[in-house]
Amino acid sequence: MNTQRIKAYIRLITCRIKEGKKIPVYHQEGITICGNCQTNFSGNYCFNCGQHKDVPRFSYKWIAKNMIGGWINIDSGFFFTIKELFIRPGYMINDYITGKRIRYFRPLQMLFVLGAVYVLLSQALYSSAESIINNDKENQELVVELGKINVGKWITENEFIKSVYKLLDSWFSSNRALGVIWMLPVSALAMKIAFRKGARKLNLNLVEYFLVRTYAACQIFIVSILLLPLSKDPEDSLPWWLYFIFSFWINLQLFNDKIKTTFFRTVLMYVYLILILILLALFLASILVFILWIFN
């Protein structure tokens, strides 16, 4: 009996997580006079100007809410979306893509808000002036080194590829927010290729895959912000397995497929991601080699 009750509770919790928070439907009768345009209407909002029927008095709570909303343009949906990202991320993203969007904060706006918060906190908690100077010196030395590289030596020893890799790594490692945002189109393309056979029911396009990876990047930013006071260096990257767990969790709920299948396709997504990055690096290196060949 106890086993049956436990199974019933598990099914109930799973069903509630999948459905999420339900929006209550209000049926109100009677006529309300709009305080803004003096129009008679029934319901919660005026059909003429859109103002709510309840206009509360100004209070300290109203001032605090509007000050925060004016600074970073967020509302209660911002914190609700954060909670959903760590309870039901895949189901939440599916809701947003299929049209249930009024409850959730927009993904790109949320990404830039979290990125700005991360940069401000890292600047406030750590003195990065010396690191910026050192990075600038290293970048200048690498740029000078790139100009002295011979094309023939690059072909035989691949020193040019190493220098380009070091240069790009120094740029993106000095700014995690820039690196995360730059990786979004690449990871969206890798995800579309990896899940092309398993996503027939959802039928997502590349832009929708981009939004999925944007919400995944928001998860990374939130964890990075929480761990920022505990880390010695603000540029210490999160462990790779944490990225994988977040991606697997989202994909499992989003595509609603078997665990083994989702795990395999998530691994395949990161394999495609590495291959695309290698191709982009080779393409960039070939362009730089061509430029050096023209000027030499």
Please check whether residue 75 is in contact with residue 68, taking contact to mean a CB–CB distance below 8 angstroms: no
How is the chain split into domains, by residue range?
30-58, 86-295
Q: What is the pLDDT of residues 161-189, one digit of tens each?
A: 555 555 555 545 445 667 777 889 999 99
Res. 246 pLDDT band, cuts 50 70 90: very high
- What is the phi/psi pair of residue 45, to 5°? -125, 145
Q: What is the pLDDT of residues 63-110, one digit of tens each?
A: 666 665 555 556 668 889 999 999 999 999 999 988 888 888 888 888
When mean pLDDT is compared across 39-48, 119-128, 269-278, the lowest value belongs to 119-128
- Residue 244, pLDDT > 90, answer yes
SS3 content of the chain, % helix, strand, coil (to 5): 70, 0, 30
Nearest to 93 by CA among 217, 273, 194, 239: 217
**Chain length of the chain:** 296
Res. 152 pLDDT band, cuts 50 70 90: very low
CA angle at residue 176 from 238 to 70, to 5 degrees?
110
Q: Is 168 helix (H, G, I), strand (E, B) or coil?
A: helix
Backbone CA torsion sign across 228, 232, 237, 239: negative
- What is the phi/psi pair of residue 228, to 5°? -60, -45
